[in-house]
Amino acid sequence: MTPVLIKQATILDKNSSFHNQTVDIKIENGIITEIAKEIATPENATVVEKENLHVSQGWFDSSVSFGEPGYEDRETIANGLQVAAKSGFTTIALQPNSTPIIDNQSYIKFVLDKAKDQATTLFPIGALTKNSDGQDLAELFDMKNAGAIAFGDYNKAIQDANIQKIALQYVQDFDGLVISYSQDNSLKGKGVVNEGIASTRLGLKGIPTLSEELHIARNLFLLEYTGGKLHIPTISTQKAIQLIKEAKAKGLQVTCSVTVHHLVLNEEILSGFDSRYKVAPPLRDEATRKALLEAVIDGTIDCITSDHNPLDIEHKKLEFDMAKDGTIGLESAFGALATVLPLEIVIEKLTSAKTIFGLPQNKIEVNSTAELTFFSPKTEGTFTKENILSKSKNSAFLGQKTKGKAYGIFNNGKLVI
């Protein structure tokens, strides 16, 4: 394996003794072998030199959809992992919303096999219920043994409280993590956007924040009753923040994430009825966007996800009511986040979530496994179609200002730059 020499990179890693230092880093056989102010270039080495080069622990995205198996026209696992690598992500958690749904060990093995020999590591999330229909628990223990790191039905909330309760009890036998999307379907009804002044003005049916909050409150009550570990993905309301903060204060093992688009965009962008902005949960008002940013900064929200969800034009470029929910987000994640949050917070929220899912954090030290993300924090620009690397083009960030750019990664002994 060719040695890699990273020249004059500023390390951003609070767990490293080299934090905030600008150094050279030498990698041999996938291991960091030397970190110093200056390192002589080894024979045959691949040299990484970039303008304003910064390096951090590898970024992790806790919610990524690709489509394969079944929706290869939207995205394949191979191309999706290349997109993730070029976007700065060394690790992703793959949602089970393919067809068939990833709800047994053979499908877990299938996606892991498809992800072999890639720079970005894929960890599958197994469906919590068979076919993600909310009726019967899937083969959770078998999937855990096959490599699943958590269990959840993507963007589908468990309406049956007893199924939710049994799931939280059952996974404790093998230290499993339950992911619970939050939405009371009866309160959502036929809503397509956030209920409020904007929905009234646009004449679109609204989804009350109560549909998310009621479900979160119920699941936290169940967690208090059962014990275990619960992850609440993509929260989007002020009351949700408060409920989770109170649950953490009680000592419950609950974590949560927020999407990049809920931190950067608000419902005012819907005025053109562009279905690229139709997401689940829906974009909220400006006061809520600011509250979500505050909750990221104060630590109530544990991690940030792109919630990358490629959709083909036939399902996305439709009347707003008819279009599917979802946006791609890997390519735009870092550049968009850096416009609304301090750099150190962005890096922390893109790296620390590994511990929630029981994955190792490889700090930047000599003799550590090299799992690194390369980026520049200052390059300003605009996100355009040329920046989209995914097969699907449904980005809510087209035309948005960006700050900073990902250069690539080193992971699994592979350099993508």
User: Same structural domain for residues 395 and 282?
Assistant: no
- Residue 362 located in a structural domain: no
Active centre residues (catalytic):
307
| 221 and 93 both lie in a single domain | yes
First to last CA, the chain: 17
- Does any domain span residue 170? yes
Omega within 30 of 0 (cis) for the link into 100? yes
Residues of the chain with pLDDT under 50: none
Structure tokens at 194: 């956030």
Residue 317 lies in a domain: yes
Does residue 361 sit within a domain?
no
Do residue 280 and residue 341 come from a single domain? yes
Q: Which of 334, 355, 376 is the last residue of a domain?
A: 355
d(CA 147, CA 38): 41
Domain boundary among 332, 355, 378: 355
Residue 177 lies in a domain: yes
- Looking at the structure, do residues 328 and 230 belong to the same domain, yes or no? yes
> Measured between alpha carbons, how far is 182 from 325 in angstroms, rounded to an integer?
15
d(CA 107, CA 100): 8
Q: Would you say how long the chain is, in residues?
A: 417
Q: Is beta strand 372-382 parallel, antiparallel or unpaired with respect to 303-305?
A: unpaired
377 and 305 in a single domain? The answer is: no
Question: Could you tell me if 245 and 385 lie in one domain?
Answer: no
CA atoms within 13 A on the CB side of 84: 36
Is residue 89 one of the residues assigned to a domain?
yes
Return d(Cα 286, Cα 274) in angstroms, integer.
Answer: 19
What pLDDT is stored for residue 1 in this prediction?
A: 84
Instruction: Tell me, yes or no, whether 394 lies in a domain.
Output: yes
Q: Is 385 helix (H, G, I), strand (E, B) or coil?
A: helix
Q: Are residues 227 and 116 in the same domain?
A: yes
Do the domain assignments include residue 339?
A: yes
My answer on whether 145 and 284 are in the same domain is yes
Are 211 and 126 members of one domain? yes
Which of 328, 355, 382 is the last residue before a domain boundary? Answer: 355
- 47 shares its domain with 67: no
The CATH number covering residue 173 comes to: 3.20.20.140
194 and 223 both lie in a single domain: yes
38, 117: one domain: no
Residue 181 near residue 233 (C-beta atoms within 8 A): yes
| Counted domains in the chain | 2
Q: By residue range, what is the domain housing residue 41?
A: 4-54+367-416
Q: What is the CATH number of the domain that holds 400?
A: 2.30.40.10
Pick the closest to residue 172 from 256, 224, 233, 229 (CA basis): 229
